[in-house]
Structure 1
Amino acid sequence: MTKEENEKGENEALEKAFEESEVPSWQNQLTIRSMVTSLILSFVFNVIVCKLNLSTGVIPSLNVAAGLLGFAMVKAWTVMIEKCGLLKQPFTRQENTVIQTCVVASSGIAFSSGTASYLLGMSPRTSAQADTGNTPLNVKQLSIGWMMAFLFTVSFVGLFSIVPLRKVMILRYKLTYPSGTATAYLINSFHTPKGAKLAKKQVWVLFKSFVGSFFWACFQWFFSAADGCGFSSFPTFGLAAFTKRFYFDFSATYVGVGMICPYMVNVSLLMGAIFSWGILWPAIESKKGDWYSAKLPASSLHGIQGYRQKSEKKSLNDSTDGQIVDYDEKRRTEYFLKDQIPNTVAVGGYVLLAAISIGVIPQIFHQLKWYMVLVAYIIAPVLAFCNAYGCGLTDWSLASNYGKLAILVFSSWVGLENGGVLAGLASCGVMMSIVSTASDLMQDFKTGYLTLSSPRSMFFSQVYGTAIGCVLSPLVFWFFYKAYSVGDPEGSYPAPYALMYRGIALLGVEGFSSLPKNCVKLVILFFVAAILINVVTEVLKNYETKYRIYRFIPSPMCMAIPFYLGGYFAIDMCVGSLILFIWERSNKKKATEFGPAVASGLICGDSLWGIPAAILALAGVQSPICMKFLSAAANQQVDAYLGP
């Protein structure tokens, strides 16, 4: 082979490797074996998610694990059938993507269903732990019948809310959706045909990164026996910075996400973290005793937490239209646009399902009137866009925060004497279901775009997975609810978020005037500031072309996320950016070719460890070591207490 031929083979686009592979029609991507596999894995993942929801409330990303386990199951089946000479249809990456989409949609319902948060917060078990609001109108006995009916009523609407924007998000804004991108890289690597040199090298790099990330996550587990233990609580910049949520938590996932996200996204996150936790919150805390009571705990929404709760900002696009310049983009765009879902179907579906919900939900929750549900469905598409956009930039879904906002608004609207607690919690379910499923669907559209999977097969598999979730989620929860003392703070399944959501509803029925002083003013100020920043960005894009200053203006959406979460994950992502930057300076070609593979491997390996970790938790196995960091003074006190 000549040098020119070798270089040509080295530089072949990924989709060139699949050029000889036939892309099945969208109907053939939805096979019976994929549906059966999805059902089996959905049950497994629903049990895992429900258990974690009721114990810690922390759910790992399941996209990668769903894609990997789906591949393993169907591949084993097809190999066995092929040996018997009965294989009629080969296993394709499109079918693999369908399985992953179904399973993630189903397990997503286990989260957004609120069985460990807003629905459980309605129950007598949870209400008994609160000091107020235990009137009959504000408490509802849980029943598998009405819970399942509620989920079927609200869970499908969000799928139609975001479909008309799929081309804008994926093709125009070119949002990265890091988990979706990483999952697509993994699925492509499973199915890459032989003969593509660059693709084979990328697969090998991804595999090494994947294995290293997986074992690093496994190693960290041994030191995390309790909350605040392990590398994830490492005070990198000192204990004072750690209390302000500034530290590097050694998360391979967010280092990988940082390598995929644009530099300005990561810089914006860091700027938001510095501004909020370094300047704004300390300034507000200095007003303790003036703006809010000095006796309140830090977690109270009447205190400092009330300001953080309302820190979301809406943003516009910060990307430019790009010309399709390479073979991969041309081929992916061709198939992404091939099987369209008409906007009339999307809009009509949203209106029809919203109308059904407006009629059904007030029958389940008499406290929530039909016109209130109508208002929720008018507002929801805007919030769904904001969440899907933010998730595309940073991989963070803020669905639960939008749900909490709905609790405050609708609880205040109804009032305590009219059942405002239940009305707020029910409205949280409506909002969370729409916002969460919308971002999940767009994440899957990104995976489908990168694997040449039809948007129609993605949509139908999402619908199928959602239906499975609406059945399995309440069934699995009901088993735990009847078998264990769910919601008991001293029990195995304390469901910590249930009481918190009810507490937000109790705050809401008091009205916005109960929030700390100047809280609403700050919300309005930051809302206006976010709009102005985006207007300036858009004006500079259209009229200032020489220096392209708009590239250096931070994204308000990205700046908003650390306001609530802290700066630790922003530091992780900036480390990822730094790695990529140094790599590009030393060898730009290698960084371009293998950077996404390394990043995807880091995300996939770390995410996959969530499955064995969850299984260990289900079995009651705890890590053997707690690695914790103390100040010198605290250490002396501990030594004195323990004695020689």
Structure 2
Amino acid sequence: MVLGKDESEMAERSDRSLSEDENRMNPDSEAEKKKGGSRSRRGQDESNGLSAERIFEGQAVPSWGRQLTFRAFAVSFMLSIMFAFIVMKLNLTAGIIPSLNVSAGLLGFFFVKTWTKVLDKSGLLQVPFTRQENTVIQTCVVASSGIAFSGGFGSYLFAMSARVAGQSTDPQSAHVFKNPSLAWMIGFLFVVSFLGLFAVVPLRKIMIIDFKLTYPSGTATAHLINSFHTPQGAKLAKKQVKALGKFFSFSFLWGFFQWFYTAGDGCGFTNFPTLGLKAFQNRFYFDFSATYVGVGMICPYIINISVLLGGILSWGLMWPLIETRKGHWYPAEASPTSMRGLQGYKVFIAIATILGDGLYNFFKVLGRTLSGLYHHLRDTEMSHVLPIANGSSPENPQVSYDDQRRTQLFLKDQIPTWFAVAGYVAIAAISTATLPHMFPQLKWYYILVIYLFAPTLGFCNAYGCGLTDWSLVSTYGKLAIFVIGAWAGASHGGILAGLAACGVMMNIVSTASDLTQDFKTGYLTLASPRSMFVSQVIGTAMGCASLPCPNTASCSATVFLRLP
């Protein structure tokens, strides 16, 4: 693999400016460095303390191949299984999936650091644990556990089942279903989950270096990993893992205690009428679930307030009032779970609210994306304009030592554009030929249209995620449902075609934004883009191969336990 022309020139300029900086370094700054303050190579303060790359200046950065170790992927596999269960649980209960990047970085550091300490004391340690390897673990874990969400284990895969189709009052829809099966689920995930990785690889330099997008979660994870690999950071990580273990033990023991008082579906602490029987009938009670307590702690307060307000408006006001119109607004003989009765109002009012808010945010992020691109291109054109009389030359902002060092290594191990394009075309061709055999209702030209627009939508989502730390994966999936479902038509299996298209779109858009965020983390920790890409590919493969197994087992156990 060779450097592209533009990126190699930037790397050479970065090398030259870095060497010029070192030659201009003030010799009197050694005393200041010992006191904990550092001056940049240009003689200006970078921060009140040592800059990140000054701290690690004496440590050699391993090659991208040495950043990929067996122990890293062993720990990643173990953590990805644990995180996958967390994501599945949250997906089926709260419906809110918090960012797990920081937790993956913390636990990856703790387990590998503990292992290397044991080997070091026994004299068997050969390869030290580096922050680049820590970043590889974090990337692999997030990629694997992310399949638990984008793979549709709590959304479109379940929506395809006969159990869900049987709840429809439309006789045509009731016979259009595809029950989850281990074989086709694994095959489906493998043919749709890798396209997003190749779609954003050519854009990594634009996103990270040119646009300087923030990616708050990726940046926070990088700073955390950098801090862990200092003497003070190791002690902090140990304290954090102790606190994590303490609350994990409490949550586990509390769940185990509740099990003794649960004899059936409507029994136990989860169905205790905390606020009275009348309030319990309208779903106002505390279910003593540690899951929701944890979600409330990690989510911003504005989300918690919104959820609480939605619960009060719906179960406290709207549903009781609509129920009084029984026989007028809906048939009196309709069952409580029928979509022709009160349940239909609950579902469609909620869906309309979610879609309206989702489309608003979609267009808002799209507007910010286009506005950012316009301003960036305009500033680029102005920087090439020759100065005129009474006009000032455009100022070139001074680049810090950290940015020079990071840019140099980020551009060193690039992934060729031809490789990304060839990979995207090859996987798209395989997917276009394979998916119609899994879903006959999903025609090959539907898939082709999705793949033509997917890189653009993946870029928009990755750019918006870099600005707001908000991935609109579900919104893009709903968009695919409406477009492909309407195109196919209800009489030709439009429901199943729309759900399958939703899965294709969600996997592409989700992996694209995840990889770009991991590129940002790797940029700040000096991890090679190649190792980030390989780690993401391996993590995605882990998720595709392993996650359908516990999901299928869980579904089978649930159905078996609920049989009369």
What TM-score do you get using the length of structure 2 for normalisation?
0.69
1:297 aligned residue = 345
Q: Are 1:441 and 2:479 matched, yes or no?
A: no
Contact 2:98/2:299 (<8 A) preserved: no
Matched, 1:456 2:485: no
1:244 CA drift (Å): 8.1
Partner of 1:55: 93
Distance 1:387 1:55 in 2: 25
**Match of residue 403, structure 1, among 477, 482, 488:** 477
Q: Does 1:161 align with 2:199?
A: yes
Answering whether residue 389 of structure 2 is matched by residue 335 of structure 1, we say no
2:105–2:138 contact (8 Å) kept in structure 1: yes
Equivalent positions of 1:40-79 (< 5 A) are 40-79=78-117
Larger Rg: 2
Match of 2:122 in 1: 84
Counterpart in 2 of 1:471? 545
Change beyond 3 A, Cα 1:401–1:18: same
Tell whether the 8 Å contact from 1:50 to 1:476 is kept in structure 2 after alignment.
no
Which has the larger displacement, 301-310 or 19-28?
Answer: 301-310
Greater mean alpha carbon deviation, residues 440-449 or residues 477-486? 477-486
Contact 2:94 2:292 in 1 (8 A): no
Give the 3 Å change call, closer, same or farther, for CA 228–330 of structure 1 in structure 2: closer
- Relative distance call for 1:205 and 1:471 in structure 2 (3 A) is closer
Mean Cα displacement is larger for which, 2-11 or 372-381? 2-11
Distance 1:452 1:147, change over 3 A: same
The Cα of 1:299 is off from its aligned counterpart by: 4.8
Please tell me whether the aligned partners of residues 108 and 134 of structure 2 are also in contact (alpha carbons under 8 angstroms): yes
Shift of 1:128: 1.8
Please state how far the C-alpha of 1:328 moved relative to its aligned partner.
0.6
From the superposition, tell whether residues 210 and 235 of structure 1 become closer, same or farther in structure 2 (CA, over 3 Å). Answer: closer
Corresponding residue to 1:325 among 393, 399, 405: 399
- The answer to whether the 8 A contact 1:480-1:486 is kept is no
Following superposition, the deviation at residue 132 of structure 1 comes to 2.4
* Equivalence for 2:453: 379
**In the alignment, is the contact (CA less than 8 A) between 1:300 and 1:306 conserved in 2?**
no
What CA deviation, in whole Å up to 9, does each residue of 1:132-184 have, x standing for no partner?
26547621122110111000000001100111111111111111111111111
For 2:298 and 2:135, locate their aligned partners in 1 and report how far apart those are by CA, in whole Å.
31
Go from structure 1 to structure 2 and tell me whether the alpha carbon gap of 1:63 and 1:175 turns closer, same or farther (over 3 Å shift).
same
Q: Give the match for residue 220 of structure 2.
A: 182
Partner of 1:577: none
- The whole-number CA distance in structure 2 between the counterparts of 1:108 and 1:233 is 18
Q: Which amino acid counterpart does residue 54 of structure 1 have in structure 2?
A: L
SS where residue 155 of structure 2 aligns?
Answer: coil
- Mapped partners of 1:141, 1:413: distance in 2: 23
**Rounded Cα–Cα distance in structure 2 between residues aligned with 1:136 and 1:303:** 23
Shift of 1:415: 0.8
Distance 1:155 1:234, change over 3 A: closer
Aligned residue identity for 2:55: A
Structure 1 distance, partners of 2:306, 2:558, is: 40
Could you tell me which runs of 5 or more consecutive residues in structure 1 were left unpaired when the two chains were aligned: 195-199, 246-288, 290-294, 492-644
1:69-89 deviation per Cα after TM superposition (whole angstroms, max 9, x unaligned): 111111111111112212111
**Which 4+ stretches in 1 moved above 6 angstroms?**
204-215, 221-224, 226-236, 239-242
Are the counterparts in 2 of residues 361 and 368 from structure 1 also a CA contact under 8 Å?
Answer: yes
**What pairs with 1:134-153 in structure 2 (closer than 5 Å)?**
135=173, 138-153=176-191
Pair 1:124-2:162 in alignment: yes
1:273-312 Cα shifts (integer Å, max 9, x gaps): xxxxxxxxxxxxxxxx9xxxxx983752685555435322
1:22 maps to which of 41, 44, 60 = 60
Q: CA deviation at 1:44?
A: 1.9
Contact 1:144–1:475 (Cα < 8 Å) also in 2 = yes
Q: Distance in 1 between matches of 2:532 and 2:182?
A: 29
What's the CA shift for 1:6? Answer: 2.7
Alignment RMSD (CA, Å): 3.8
Q: 1:500 is matched with which residue?
A: none
Contact 1:127–1:134 (CA under 8 A) maintained in structure 2: no
Instruction: Give per-residue Cα distances to partners, 1:227-257, cap 9 Å, x unaligned.
Output: 9987899999xx9997489xxxxxxxxxxxx
Report the alpha carbon displacement of residue 59 of structure 1 after superposing the two structures with TM.
Answer: 2.4
Once residues 80 and 145 of structure 1 are traced to their aligned partners in structure 2, the CA distance between those partners, rounded to angstroms, is 41
Give the drift of 1:317: 5.4
Shift of 1:208: 12
CA pair 370-240 structure 1, distance change in 2 beyond 3 A = closer
Deviation at residue 123 of structure 1 after TM alignment:
0.3
- Map 1:202-217 onto structure 2 (within 5 A): none
Q: Looking at both structures, which has the greater relative contact order when contacts are Cα pairs under 8 Å and sequence separation is at least 6? A: 1
Q: Distance in 1 between matches of 2:87 and 2:292?
A: 22
Counterparts of 1:68 and 1:390, CA distance in 2: 26
Query: Counterpart of 1:138 in 2: which secondary structure?
Result: coil
User: In the aligned structure 2, how far is the partner of 1:317 from the partner of 1:402?
Assistant: 20
Q: Which moved more, 1:394-403 or 1:7-16?
A: 7-16
Paired residue for 1:310?
359
- The alignment's TM-score, normalised by the length of structure 1, stands at 0.61
d(CA) in 1 for partners of 2:201 and 2:475?
A: 22
Task: Report if the CA contact (8 A) 2:462-2:471 is conserved.
Answer: yes
2:299, 2:193 → 1: CA distance? 36
Alpha carbons of structure 1 residues 317 and 13: separation in structure 2 relative to 1, 3 Å: farther
